[in-house]
Copies of this chain bind each other. A is one copy, B any other.
Amino acid sequence: MANIQEVAKKAGVSVATVSRVLNNNPSVTPKTRLKVENAIRDLDYEPSMLGRNLRNSESRLLLVLIPSISNPFYSDIINGIQNTAIANNYNILLCETNSSPERENIYFNMVKNKLADGVISMDPTVNMEKLTELAENHSIILCSEYEEGGSIPYVTINHELAAYHAVKHLIKLGNQKIALINSDEKFLYARQRRNGYERALKEFGLPLREEWIYHTHQLDFQDGVQAMRMLLRLDEKPTAVFAVSDTLAIGALKEINVCGLKAPDDIAVVGFDNISFSNMTNPTLTTIAQPMYKMGCTAANMLISIIRRNKVESMVLDHELIIRESTMG
């Protein structure tokens, strides 16, 4: 592949002029520009990003930290990030941390190494201390999961309110005994969603029973199956379940089915996330939709703002309750 020197020689100009043409500098005469453009075409020249990036000390690469690619929850957010990034001449590097600190370190180093210009973290297990330290000298945004009172700007939804809406929907349908399938409460969103659940119950004077709250280890389908199995073994069975993720809810639906029960007649189920499969289950799943795509766009725009040394404000976006068959048979 030709370099800028060869183009300059072929066009009979200096490398500076070639560079000007490449960067659309208006001070080049049309005639010179033409000569250069011809040389570029003849030599099939493409400017090397390596040289350009070194000179400009930027990589135009954004890191997106997610725990796992296979979690469908992130798909639309990533689409939003990606489209926004490309529109601003950035590319994204999708980084799977597998919740492993070593992996995380590799990516943090890429930022320090100037191989990336900024980070959008969606990993709830991220080492917040290290990330905050990194944020002192680099551009970082939190997306979805964030830190209360932290110094890093974030974009998220109101998890407490969303959970409140989900549970209120179940109450309005006449359910009095409502269980919560929650994930580990070391995660902020889990604590917030539990708060919303409790607030709804209290507001309607419904009992709050510890045995109706099940904590799963992960967010997998099997954890939902297991959770539902335990809830169905109780003497006083719940008539409705709010699961903090669709995968858990789909697992719960499966177990309800296996036990010969029917949703929503015997037990109503609400999930969270509106993943694409939530519309394919039988019955289809009532769930809370986060504005994924918009959240991604917002996160990317915020990050690019920070990179440009502008001030940004954290944002809280709206959610939506999507009512389907699992509560309204």
Give the contacts of A270-292 with B (CB-CB under 8 A). Answer: 276-277, 279-282
Whether, in the assembled complex, A115 has its beta carbon less than 8 Å from a beta carbon of chain B, the answer is: yes
**Of B59, B277, B280, which contacts A50 at CB under 8 A?**
B59
Q: Closest CB of chain B to A59's CB: distance in Å?
A: 7
**Of B1, B72, B113, which contacts A48 at CB under 8 A?**
B113
User: Which stretch (A8-16, A25-33, A249-257) binds chain B?
Assistant: A249-257
Is B75 touching A114 in the complex (CB atoms < 8 A)?
no
Is B79 touching A96 in the complex (CB atoms < 8 A)?
yes
Question: Could you say which residues of chain B place their CB within 8 Å of the CB of A280?
Answer: 221, 250-251, 254, 277
Question: Could you say which residues of chain B place their CB within 8 Å of the CB of A70?
Answer: 72, 75-76, 79, 276
**Of B94, B251, B276, which contacts A94 at CB under 8 A?**
B94
Whether, in the assembled complex, A78 has its beta carbon less than 8 Å from a beta carbon of chain B, the answer is: yes
Whether, in the assembled complex, A109 has its beta carbon less than 8 Å from a beta carbon of chain B, the answer is: yes
Is B112 touching A46 in the complex (CB atoms < 8 A)?
yes
Question: Could you say which residues of chain B place their CB within 8 Å of the CB of A47?
Answer: 113
A199-232 CB mask vs B (1 if < 8 Å, else 0) is 0000000000000000000000100000000000
Whether, in the assembled complex, A137 has its beta carbon less than 8 Å from a beta carbon of chain B, the answer is: yes
Q: Closest CB of chain B to A310's CB: distance in Å?
A: 21
Question: Could you say which residues of chain B place their CB within 8 Å of the CB of A54?
Answer: 48, 50-51, 54
Whether, in the assembled complex, A86 has its beta carbon less than 8 Å from a beta carbon of chain B, the answer is: yes
Q: How many copies does the complex hold?
A: 2
Query: A53-B50, A221-B276, A276-B221 in contact; A106/B86 too (CB < 8 A)?
Result: yes
Q: Closest CB of chain B to A94's CB: distance in Å?
A: 4
Give CA–CA (A280, B72) in the complex, Å.
Answer: 15
A91-122 CB mask vs B (1 if < 8 Å, else 0) is 10110100000010010011011110000000
Q: List 12 A-B contacts (CB under 8 A).
A: A46-B109, A48-B113, A51-B54, A61-B93, A69-B69, A69-B74, A69-B79, A70-B75, A91-B93, A221-B279, A250-B280, A277-B277
Interface residues of A (CB under 8 A from B): 1, 46-51, 53-54, 57, 59, 61, 69-70, 72, 74-76, 78-79, 82, 86, 91, 93-94, 96, 103, 106, 109-110, 112-115, 137, 221, 250-251, 254, 257, 276-277, 279-282
Which A-B residue pairs are the 10 nearest by beta carbons?
Answer: A70-B75, A94-B94, A46-B112, A49-B115, A49-B113, A50-B54, A48-B114, A54-B54, A50-B114, A221-B280
With contacts A51-B54, A86-B106, A221-B277 known, what are 11 further pairs, Cβ within 8 A? A49-B115, A50-B54, A50-B57, A50-B113, A50-B115, A69-B75, A69-B78, A69-B79, A70-B72, A221-B280, A254-B282
